[in-house]
Structure 1
């Protein structure tokens, strides 16, 4: 395994690449919009359209239904503390909705997704996800579980790479852990912990307030930054001696952060298990890819014989702590 000094160099380089995203980093606050479509009679559907709130303003995403669709009664709109709900009843005509596109103009200007779930009279169910790169879904009655798994695995991967604070915490673990075996233990403990709370929160057993979770995640990064500096100075502590236990404890917090992506989407309970499993797999694939990039970069620097002054090797540790402090203050102020 590469030395801590070379690892610090590689982490500093990657941190600088991520710098444009730091000031506004709210990794787990990009809650998805959600559209539920239920067929109530042939070509007749009830719709529940939910858009998350940003302060007092709903996300600027519009629901665009296929041409020829008409309302059978006036829509009902309700504004909640965290979202705007619109209920509609529509007639899709003789051809129905199958094979048609539903668009989400404005989604391309966001960093979130729109989750679509459809249930037809004959019992067919499927999910789709519209993204900024493709702000529409095409409805199909024969969508299979494998397609749902692929969609949510992709969403998990996208979410982990959008989660700058989560990636920074993983950075910190790589800086703190002294050897390969301890790294395996620490990353495994972190993975198990956030997988547990991701499941618990998604199924609704525990729902801590999102602002509190976000502030606690920022504090975990600040705490980790302090411990990294202590380790560099040759000091010791419970965290330095048993990083896997601390990673497990903080992993529980990060799992609640991940859960907001699915639990706040309002997914019906019977649609959650496959989506949850697939999303979690995507998160882990993204996390492993990130760790691999860091370690490969460190190994490349070793082979190239790169060397930075000792003070430069401390920069990543101070960046972790500084950004953790900034996000802590920013998120506490949001209360």
Structure 2
């Protein structure tokens, strides 16, 4: 039975790997460039020349005043055009069509002439966004908190790293210290990256994140030798946490921070990341506890097999991301 564990986990991770493009959110930017005049940027996830069938719908009071300029940038299809809306967009509804048939959501960001910014998450269950007269701090906090949770729970490489740390550590005190060190480290570089204080190019960062998972997986296999990671797992988690923070920061830079509530948005996004991480850790510990109570399972053997599985997946990601540099 224990031999089935890696294959079950492999099937779980294969689904997000196959749909990685579809899990990226679409992005709608609406900039008020003059009273009742708006510049629209619509970015839709794409694979090659194929893009998702997602469409922006403005209220009936709006009319298109320029032809869309379209093109592909990296893994997205981008369209830009202008609209004129009688009376402006305040208290009006903007919607996204097609979300119900995809695996993604959309992030909408409206920048008004007075500098206020409204950021909203649009999903298949709630495909409309009502434009607020003056966005509230509570709404901003809620949006970025949910975005943080969504980002970590869909960040399968980050979760696999956390799972590897859980397999490496044998006692609760070391586990708490290690998770705290990882949290502190990626909070630092997340803030630095999002605020533009320090940054790193995303492709190398993503490749190095995969390499960090490979390293911890190899340390699990060699943990009986009393290596550095076994003695000081908090140090390993802190050093690699700095790297993972740049990965989180890259995602947050794409989303953008509201000018009026930068500290609040940054804090709540980070809290969302931590909440999602704690949910994952709790679920993993519960699963490990349930398996440990079953005498039919050889826990040590399962741990070793999972380490090999994690290392194999991380190695595949590393090669894939290196190939993506070209």
Q: Which residue of 1 aligns with 2:236?
A: 246
The one of 16, 20, 29 aligned to 2:8: 16
Q: Which residue of 2 aligns with 1:325?
A: 315
Work out the CA distance in 2 between the residues paired with 1:39 and 1:312.
Answer: 57
The one of 79, 90, 99 aligned to 1:98: 90
Give the number of equivalent residue pairs: 321
Q: Which residue of 1 aligns with 2:283?
A: 293
> Does 1:45 find its partner at 2:34?
no
Cα root mean square deviation, aligned: 3.1
Once the two structures are superposed, residues 146-185 of structure 1 have per-residue CA deviations (whole angstroms, 9 ceiling, x without a partner) of: 1111111111112211122211111111111121111111
The one of 118, 122, 132 aligned to 1:130: 122
**Secondary structure in 1 matching 2:42:** strand
Q: 1:323 to 1:41 in 2, by over 3 A?
A: closer
Once the two structures are superposed, residues 70-119 of structure 1 have per-residue CA deviations (whole angstroms, 9 ceiling, x without a partner) of: 1234444565456555443322124x323332222344444443222224
> Does 1:65 find its partner at 2:58?
yes
Unaligned runs of 5+ in 2: none
Q: Which residue of 1 aligns with 2:295?
A: 306
The answer to whether the 8 Å contact 2:90/2:132 transfers is: yes
The one of 231, 245, 251 aligned to 1:261: 251
Once the two structures are superposed, residues 115-166 of structure 1 have per-residue CA deviations (whole angstroms, 9 ceiling, x without a partner) of: 2222445665422111344333222224311111111111111221112221
Q: Which residue of 2 aligns with 1:5?
A: none
Work out the CA distance in 2 between the residues paired with 1:86 and 1:110.
Answer: 19
Q: 1:132 to 1:252 in 2, by over 3 A?
A: farther
TM superposition shift of 1:56: 6.0
The one of 254, 257, 274 aligned to 2:264: 274
Unaligned runs of 5+ in 1: 1-8
Q: 1:247 to 1:324 in 2, by over 3 A?
A: same
> Does 1:89 find its partner at 2:82?
yes
Q: 1:147 to 1:97 in 2, by over 3 A?
A: same
**Secondary structure in 2 matching 1:22:** helix
Q: 1:333 to 1:176 in 2, by over 3 A?
A: same
The answer to whether the 8 Å contact 2:169/2:175 transfers is: yes
Work out the CA distance in 2 between the residues paired with 1:133 and 1:264.
Answer: 23
Instruction: Pick which of 117-126 and 247-256 moved more.
Output: 117-126
Work out the CA distance in 1 between the residues paired with 2:178 and 2:205.
Answer: 21
Work out the CA distance in 1 between the residues paired with 2:48 and 2:189.
Answer: 26
Instruction: Pick which of 81-90 and 249-258 moved more.
Output: 81-90
> Does 1:197 find its partner at 2:189?
yes
The one of 26, 29, 35 aligned to 1:33: 26
TM superposition shift of 1:280: 0.9
